[in-house]
Structure 1
Amino acid sequence: MIDWKLALSMATRLTKPGPEMDAAQVAEAVAELREGAARSEGPVREFSQLHATSATAPVLVVDRPRWIEANLETFRVLMDPVMDKLVEADKMPTGLSRTFGSKIGGAEVGALMSFMSSKVLGQFDPFWNGPNGEGGRLLLVAPNIVHAEQQLSVDPHDFRLWVCLHEETHRVQFTAVPWMRDHMRSLLDEFIDATDLDSGALASMVGDSFSEVVKIVRGESDASINELFQNPRQREIVDQLTGIMSLLEGHADVVMDGVGPDVIPSVAEIRRKFNQRRKGAGSLDKLLRRLLGMDAKMRQYKDGAAFVNAVIDRVGIEGFNAVWEKPANLPSKSEILDPQSWVARVHG
């Protein structure tokens, strides 16, 4: 279905290298980000009261091509169950249709990864398996971080540490809550199992989605392309995943803002300018964000942080940390928007 080699070559060919930097500047940025990640771990663990095992997930400072390569590796692993399902159902295309289909799929994935590679500052990949049994890895995209600090005109040393605080929180979340990784993978497997391979159902879904795409382009709908091609069961699963991602992103924002004032002098200026940046720039950028669901991702930060703050105000940090005890305690998408309902359900 997807020519992964073509996806990688196209993405790296389309991707710009980032801001101009000499060798010394590159080395300085890489070293500072590595140091910032290590420096962030203690304050993040202390503030969050999550007892993570140190160094169980590696930190990698990467450029844009390496970020693309790492994500394609993970996508390929996540797509394996889809391939197995197609083979089992005897739905795999053959001959020229398979060849052309895989090339088109590879080109589409490559173009998407090229666009995303310039947007992501950092990312925790929970589904990577290390050679020594590590579960997950933290990627810090150096050229994007440098580009953002230049674009925002903020202190580069403060900004780099600020980004590290957010991303290190994700590393702590997954290493302190080891069941989270398997739980999210099980939801993704359920999503794949719910995929309808019937050609008639797929054709109907595509037809029904066309008018909604027009609304998205016009700004009359908040849906994304992904949402249009989901059946009811898949939407239920996506709602669960949205609740989890809102929790993780919102919690990371709360932790970085809680720790920030003690270690980052210009944190207030950085937060103000960065919030403005998250809204996107030009009309084309905003359209692509809406189509790809990036606007929904931005809402996860905002709604998730509001949920975390509201729960902590109500039951304290220890009461909030009940969210990490078991999957049943995770908030649903609706509870993210109604924190009191989560408090009532979990704490009675």
Structure 2
Amino acid sequence: MSDSPFGFGLPPEEPEDGDEGKKKGPAEGGQGAGGNPFGFGGMPGGGDNPFAAMFGSLNPSDLGAAFQQLGQMLSYEGGPVNWDMAKQIARQTVSQGTPDGTKDASVGPAERAAVEEAVRLADLWLDGVTSLPSGAGTAVAWSRAEWVEATLPAWQQLVDPVAEQVGAAMGNVLPEEMQAMAGPLIGMMRSMGGAMFGQQIGQAVGALAGEVVGSTDVGLPLGPAGKAALLPLNVAAFGKDLSVPQDEVRLYLALREAAHQRLFAHVPWLRSHLFGAVEGYARGIKVDTGKLEDAVGGLDPSNPEQLQEALQQGMFQPEDTPEQKAALARLETALALVEGWVDAVVHEAAKSRLTSADALRETLRRRRASGGPAEQTFATLIGLELRPRRLRDASRLWASLTDARGVDGRDGLWEHPDMLPTASDLDDPDGFVHREHLDFSELDKMLGEAAGGGKRDQGDEPEQGPGKREQGEDDSDK
């Protein structure tokens, strides 16, 4: 049991031998849908006690700095998450290296040139398998620390709505008539809550930086718009034991990154749709304030272990509300459709050009199925577990749509969220493809009439609509 009453901690300066928890860090607290999104019961890797981390191994000469850091934690007056602390801890986690001993390093000119060439070639190959134009204005090679810096704004947008709801419950735990008298205590609770969230997120993002290969591994646009990014150090680690030439590994991962960039650049509603689903999940959180009141009311000031035990027993665990279920279902389905489209498009582009395309595709699929770092981080931060089965179903659906509708017809479904398959459609991809194939003949006719400024002659058959002509052209190119 930790000596800390709050169950959060700064990472130690050096990783301990045999400490595999840091690699799995984001996963330890994840409970899936309806679970504890922030894993308040403590963090892995021996870092579950902030005060032990700051004081336990310090020399007396270091105590001043430690007290200063503690003062900064208690004086925090910002939003629901102390993002300065999150950034600091993420950078510290990155500097420690991964459990296999790999340390972060600056990216050299040769690695940058290799990434730029891989993305350029990937975009050229993708031109033949999707109607969406390139979305990567630039190609960049990042170190792990640069990935942290570039993606923190997106993490803030994802996590703040969830932390806001939980933080509000922490501040409202006392009866209203007591809140005026307990102002300083409530302020301290919120400051500590912001620090607690910042620590959890910082460790999760720092651990993820040691695993991701690009800016879109979690199916969301985490980096700046228009920048296709790869992390050469992590790309090399990914392909280390695959018996695949490094150039092929880099190119395949560049295809995935470039495909994501196309989708997010040319489907303008997609980003807000995905992030909005997270906000919808946050609005559905119903923290058990009864447990909070009981825990705070029964606290013995001489026994801070009580709060730690209450945290571990799920005092902040959100209820499994219908609102949460609906929001999570929307998000999981949308992410599956994004990842499935990328999987199908990349496979089409690579299968005839890379001898290792099938092996790399299966490796990435197994990585997701075994609970890869992206899924673990989401489970920790927002209570979301991606369902790999959905990704495979979505990939099969997009491939079937390509056969039935052609490239333009398939990609046209991204024009509006209402046109996309639903979760039930992923259960029956062939049924969706057959039904949509029939419905689209009439839609093509209406679109053609609108484009022509009036009705077509009655003799025009639906098969002469733009979708059918484009499909024929696509087929002739095969």
- When normalised by structure 2's length, the TM-score is 0.56
Equivalence for 1:217: none
- Contact 2:135-2:263 within 8 A present in 1 as well: no
Distance 1:303 1:140 in 2: 27
Residue 262 of structure 1 and its aligned partner are, at CA, apart by 3.7
The answer to whether the aligner puts 1:151 opposite 2:232 as a matched pair is no
Residue 103 of structure 1 and its aligned partner are, at CA, apart by 1.9
Equivalence for 2:36: none
Equivalence for 1:122: 214
Residue 258 of structure 1 and its aligned partner are, at CA, apart by 0.8
The answer to whether the aligner puts 1:2 opposite 2:92 as a matched pair is no
User: What are the Cα deviations for residues 69-116 of structure 1, in whole angstroms up to 9, with x where unaligned?
Assistant: 223221223455567778999957832212222222122112212222
User: What are the Cα deviations for residues 286-331 of structure 1, in whole angstroms up to 9, with x where unaligned?
Assistant: x968965787354443232122123333443333223212111122
Distance 2:370 2:144 in 1: 20
Of 72, 81, 86, the residue aligned with 2:152 is 72
Distance 2:157 2:367 in 1: 32
SS in 1 for 2:347: helix
The answer to whether the aligner puts 1:249 opposite 2:328 as a matched pair is no
- Contact 2:277-2:331 within 8 A present in 1 as well: yes
Equivalence for 2:398: 308
Distance 1:84 1:22 in 2: 35
SS in 1 for 2:351: helix
The answer to whether the aligner puts 1:42 opposite 2:137 as a matched pair is no
Distance 2:330 2:104 in 1: 42
SS in 2 for 1:103: helix
The 3 A distance-change label for structure 1 pair 187 and 6 is same
The answer to whether the aligner puts 1:268 opposite 2:350 as a matched pair is no
Q: Which has the higher helix share?
A: 1
The answer to whether the aligner puts 1:11 opposite 2:103 as a matched pair is no
User: What are the Cα deviations for residues 6-47 of structure 1, in whole angstroms up to 9, with x where unaligned?
Assistant: 222222222344647998x84333321122112211321320
The 3 A distance-change label for structure 1 pair 345 and 237 is farther
Equivalence for 1:94: 186
The answer to whether the aligner puts 1:62 opposite 2:157 as a matched pair is no
Equivalence for 1:31: 113
Equivalence for 1:224: none
SS in 2 for 1:60: strand
Distance 1:232 1:113 in 2: 29
Distance 1:302 1:48 in 2: 19
Tell me, which stretches of 5 or more residues in structure 2 are unaligned? 1-79, 173-184, 295-311, 440-478
AA at the equivalent of 1:99: S
Of 199, 204, 207, the residue aligned with 1:107 is 199
- Contact 1:45-1:172 within 8 A present in 2 as well: no
Equivalence for 1:237: 327
SS in 1 for 2:128: helix
AA at the equivalent of 1:44: L
The answer to whether the aligner puts 1:194 opposite 2:284 as a matched pair is yes
Residue 179 of structure 1 and its aligned partner are, at CA, apart by 2.4
Residue 160 of structure 1 and its aligned partner are, at CA, apart by 0.2
Tell me, which stretches of 5 or more residues in structure 1 are unaligned? 205-212, 215-226
Moved more, 147-156 or 81-90: 81-90
Distance 1:241 1:281 in 2: 17
Equivalence for 2:33: none
Moved more, 81-90 or 11-20: 81-90
AA at the equivalent of 1:14: T
Is the radius of gyration larger for structure 1 or structure 2? 2
* Identity over aligned pairs, percent: 23
SS in 2 for 1:122: coil
- Contact 2:413-2:419 within 8 A present in 1 as well: yes
Distance 2:363 2:169 in 1: 51
- Contact 2:368-2:388 within 8 A present in 1 as well: yes
Distance 2:110 2:120 in 1: 15
Moved more, 251-260 or 310-319: 310-319
Residue 260 of structure 1 and its aligned partner are, at CA, apart by 0.7
Equivalence for 1:208: none
The 3 A distance-change label for structure 1 pair 120 and 230 is farther
Residue 245 of structure 1 and its aligned partner are, at CA, apart by 1.0
Cα RMSD (Å): 4.0
Distance 1:178 1:70 in 2: 21
SS in 2 for 1:8: helix
Distance 1:21 1:228 in 2: 36
Residue 239 of structure 1 and its aligned partner are, at CA, apart by 1.1
SS in 2 for 1:47: coil
The 3 A distance-change label for structure 1 pair 249 and 202 is farther
AA at the equivalent of 2:83: W
Residue 59 of structure 1 and its aligned partner are, at CA, apart by 3.5
Distance 2:237 2:318 in 1: 33
SS in 1 for 2:386: helix
Of 411, 427, 430, the residue aligned with 1:321 is 411
The 3 A distance-change label for structure 1 pair 26 and 194 is same
* Total equivalences in the alignment: 318
- When normalised by structure 1's length, the TM-score is 0.75
SS in 2 for 1:114: helix
AA at the equivalent of 2:201: V
- Contact 1:149-1:156 within 8 A present in 2 as well: yes
Residue 157 of structure 1 and its aligned partner are, at CA, apart by 0.3
Distance 2:371 2:166 in 1: 40
- Contact 1:246-1:336 within 8 A present in 2 as well: no
Distance 2:161 2:359 in 1: 45
Equivalence for 2:230: 140
Distance 1:53 1:198 in 2: 44
